[in-house]
Each structure stands twice: as C-alpha cells, then as structure tokens.
Amino acid sequence: MGLTPQLHHYRMPNLNPALDLLLHPYKGTNVYTILPAKLPTEEYVILGAHYDSKSNCPGAVDNATGTVMALSILAQQVKVPGRKKNLLVVLFDQEEEELIGSRAFVDFLLRRAYQVHSVHTFDMVGWDGDQNKEIELGAPSPSLAERYQNHAAQHGIPIYISAGGSTDYQAFREAGFNATGVNEAYTKRDSSPYKDTPKDVFSTVNFDYLAHTTLFVSEVIQTILTE
Amino acid sequence: MQLTNIKEKLSLFDGLLVTSLLAFGVKGCTYLLLGQIWLIIAALLLGSWVIYSFYFSPNRKYIPIRIWGILLILWGLTRGIIGLLITISPIADIHVNSQFGWQGNLLSTIAIGVGYYLSRAAKRGIASTNK
C-alpha cells in the first residue's frame, strides 16, 4: 500500500500503586500508519485492533480477525479518491492486559493534540454461530450509533448496541473520544467459545462473517472519510 | 565488641545500605517519569530518614536501618510468594509472568538476603550501644 508503519513504544505504570512497588512498569509497542487525505486536513478517523493474545493462545478470532479487518479496510480506503480526512490505523499491544496499549495510545493522541473525528475498534469479528450476520456495536457514541444503524438498515444487516465490554474502545470513550467498538454478537453469547484458549485457531474463524462485516464497516468508514 | 565488628565490615554494610536505598530511588524516578509521584516521595522520605539517622545524627541510630532491612525482607518475601504461586498455578498475564522468571526470583532472593544482613547488623549495633 506504500504506507510506512510507525512504532509507538510506551511504558505505563501498573494499575495500582502497590503493584508499582512490586513490579516493573508495563512496556509495549503499538504499530500505526497514516493514510493521508487527498486534501490538507488535521482531522483523523482512527481504526484500531489489538494484535496481542493471552499467553499460549493463538488468538485467531481474538484478535487476528480484528487486526485483519482494520488492515483490509485500510486497503480498501487507499483506492478511494475523494478522501477528506486522514485515516490512522493502529494495532494495539497489551489489550489482554487491562487495555494498556490503547490507553497509552490515547495519551499519545492527546499529547500530540490530534484532531480525531471518530475511533472505531474491532475485537473478535470471526464467529457467527447462528449465521445471521449480526453485528454488535459496543458503547457507541449517539452519532456513530445512528450512522452504523442507518447503514445497516440499508443493507438489511442486523445490528444492535451493547453497553460494551472490556476492550480497546473503552479507553477512548473514557477519554471523551467519539468512539465505538465493532464485534461479533458477544453479549448475545454468539461468540467464539475458544476465546482465550489454545483452541482459538485459524480453522474456527468464520471467514464469510469476517468478510461480510469488513465490507460493511469499510463502507461506513468510506462515507465518513468522503463527507 | 559488637560495634567494633560492625566497623570492621562497614564497607559492605555501607555499600548494601546505600545501594538498596538507591535502587528504590531509581524505581521511584522511573515511575515519576510515568506520572506516579508517591513512590519517589516514599523513597526520598525513607531514604533521608535512614541516612540521616545513621550517618549524620549526633547519636547514631540503628532502628531506621533495622526497619529498612525488615521492609526489604517483606518486599522480597511478597515477590517470592507471588513467584511461587505463579509457578504452581500459572496465570495468563504476560506482564506479571515475565517478571517472575529466574531473574525476578533472584532479585527477590537478593532483597531478602540484603534485608536480613542489614537488619541483623543494625540489631548488633543496637545491642552494642545499649551496653
């Protein structure tokens, strides 16, 4: 795609001062790249997914699927001629360890005063047991909820809003960003039963669902980038 | 006689005392750079108290050193227990696991050893001054 990946090395304190006394700080690396808009602008749309997994877990659904989705959407948007916003795609480290990577990246964005239009994170988009193509939006902002729901209605895609769980968009929402998570129907328990286990492997991924969801979200992102 | 023993070994005692205090000072600075202030404040207060009491106070005091030694032992023991529990029942948290390999456990053991040495030396010093 002709884009340059950049490394965001970070160190973060532990979540509790008592742990700071006993342990070293968290240390990790987020990886990001920027697809610039066609016209000069300081506004960014951010796509994110975590690339780490639990110890001894291959992490196919959680979260190779989210990572692939973010990169596939990026590949689609490279071809879009009328981009009016910059697209920043970031792969987070240490999501499985209390969202440390995304928290560090939020600090990074705030320190550099990035003007962020919206943040879309993807975590577990590879399971669809009831084959209904349903998508879950995790704790979306009202504007993003409306946008995704309108788009889903046009295509007849079932979509619902949940209060959200513990994943990367939480760090952005807590910091006041316009953010949402996109994932398989996790809170409805139509979700990979192999999460955080050694059985979360390639063969368990529902690639039809992954492709379908990726195309849908890519269209949403394209409308944001071009408006 | 106890005080003489301590004076003969003063270089090792001084080295271990200052190094152990400095180590926590460095830890405090590390976390200060990450926006956490309490550890450096605790290290400075405790370190200042220990150093002043032993080296600069008109009447040399050993109790702060004994307290520091006991705190080191507790620190090492706590880490040692965590390391043992992780060995018996591994957890999925990579951040914690990575700090309790052989190097982490060696650090815990060294802390216990240094704490024991300082505590015992201070106890002998207290005993000698009470004669």
A1 part of a folded domain: no
SS3 B9: coil
Least confident of A64-68, A94-98, A204-208: A94-98
Rg of chain B over Cα atoms, rounded to whole angstroms, equals 17
CB contact under 8 A, A13 and B36: yes
Listed in sequence order, the residues at least 6 apart from A193 whose beta carbon sits closer than 8 Å to its beta carbon are: none
Given a contact cutoff of 8 angstroms between Cβ atoms, the answer to whether A181 and A122 are in contact is yes
What is the pLDDT, as a whole number, of residue B9? 57
Given a contact cutoff of 8 angstroms between Cβ atoms, the answer to whether B111 and B72 are in contact is yes
* Distance of alpha carbon A39 from alpha carbon A168, whole angstroms: 30
Where along chain B do its domains lie? Answer: 2-129
Given a contact cutoff of 8 angstroms between Cβ atoms, the answer to whether A48 and A101 are in contact is no
Range of the domain at A109: 6-226
CB contact under 8 A, B36 and A17: yes
Least confident of A111-115, B2-6, B37-41, B50-54: B2-6
Q: How far is CA B98 from the centre of its chain?
A: 22
Q: How far is CA A221 from the centre of its chain?
A: 12
- Secondary structure in 3-state letters for A81-139: CCCCCEEEEEEECCCCCCCHHHHHHHHHHHHCCCEEEEEEEECCCCCCCCCCCCEEEEC
* Distance of alpha carbon A13 from alpha carbon A25, whole angstroms: 5
Which residues of chain A make contact with B93, given a CB cutoff of 8 A?
55, 97
What is the total count of domains within chain A? Answer: 1
Residue A73 banded pLDDT, cuts 50, 70, 90: very high
What is the pLDDT, as a whole number, of residue A207? 97
Query: For A97-151, how does the pLDDT look when each residue is reduced to its tens digit (9 = 90+)?
Result: 889 999 999 999 999 999 999 999 999 999 999 999 999 999 999 999 999 999 9
A85 part of a folded domain: yes
What is the pLDDT, as a whole number, of residue B57? 84
ipTM of this predicted structure: 0.82
Residue B6 banded pLDDT, cuts 50, 70, 90: low
A193 part of a folded domain: yes
- To test the contact with chain A by mutation, choose from B81, B82, B91, B95 the residue with the greatest count of A C-beta atoms within 10 A, namely B95
What is the pLDDT, as a whole number, of residue B12? 86
A146 part of a folded domain: yes
What is the pLDDT, as a whole number, of residue B1? 45
The CATH number that applies at residue A196 is 3.40.630.10
